[in-house]
Amino acid sequence: MVSQKGDETMRRTLVIFKPDAVNRSLIGRILTRFEEKGLKIVGMKMERLNVYKLKQHYEHLTNKPFFEELLDYMSSIPCILAVIEGKDAVAVVRRLAGETCGRDASPGTIRGDFSMSTQTNLIHASENDEVAKYEIDRFFKPEEMFSYDKMNFNWIYCRSEKGMYTEIKDKGKSVEEIEHAKKKMMEMEQKKEQ
């Protein structure tokens, strides 16, 4: 089996389960959606978000009329924060979340199924890879996140989707050597699965 640790094809995103998700006892159901999709939880905690961090987090909305109300709501009770990992995790989680306004969000999405509001829309999900990095750094210390192998990994991604060549590349081999090693690894994987 190919190690998942240090797999450079994986991406991480920040998800905040907002106060309405906590209050409406929807944490478990929402988390299940991420787990069932095949995403990996690599960090998780409960935190009452302070206004200082929230002002940074929602800086792009500073001039909006709903800004103060948003800060009040987001700091009203603790949130659950999670770092979620997977291939294209940022985009995948955004699609699972659905449109900002729950009333407009498609059925099948988290907001589409459980929310009727633009503000109490259950979860925050990072917008893109760059933003995800800032947001994860804002809310999580490195030691609060984990790299670990998951048993179902081989059934979540196909061989060519797995970052199986990381270790070889790290050894500074030539492209030809990497290609050769790639082929060998695929053959070995194939044999193991037979």
Point out which residues bind ligand TYD (CB under 6 A). 61, 66, 70, 100, 118-119, 121, 124, 127
**Catalytic one of 57, 60, 124, 180:** 124
Find residue 80's DSSP bridge partners. 17, 46
CB of 97 to ligand TYD, least distance (A): 7
* Min dist. Cβ of residue 124 to ligand TYD (A): 6
DSSP line for 48-114? ---HHHHHHHTGGGTTSTTHHHHHHHHTSS-EEEEEEEETTHHHHHHHHH--SSTTTSPBTBHHHHH
Grouping H, G, I as helix, E, B as strand and the rest as coil, residue 120 is coil
Amino acid code (one letter) for 7: D
- Give the whole-angstrom CA distance, residue 45 versus residue 41: 11
Give min distance, CB of 88 to ligand TYD, in A: 17
Between 2 and 84, whose beta carbon lies closer to ligand TYD? 84
* Of residues 50 and 117, the one with the C-beta less far from ligand TYD: 117
Q: Which C-beta is closer to ligand TYD: that of 58 or that of 153?
A: 58
Minimum CB–partner distance for residue 13 and ligand TYD (Å): 12
The yes-or-no answer on residue 124 being catalytic is yes
Strand, coil or helix: what is 146? coil
Smaller CB separation from ligand TYD, 88 or 167: 88
Exposure string of 121-160, with b = 16+ CB inside 10 Å and e = fewer, is bbbbbbeeeeebbebbeebbeeeeeeeeeeeebbebbeee
Catalytic positions are: 124
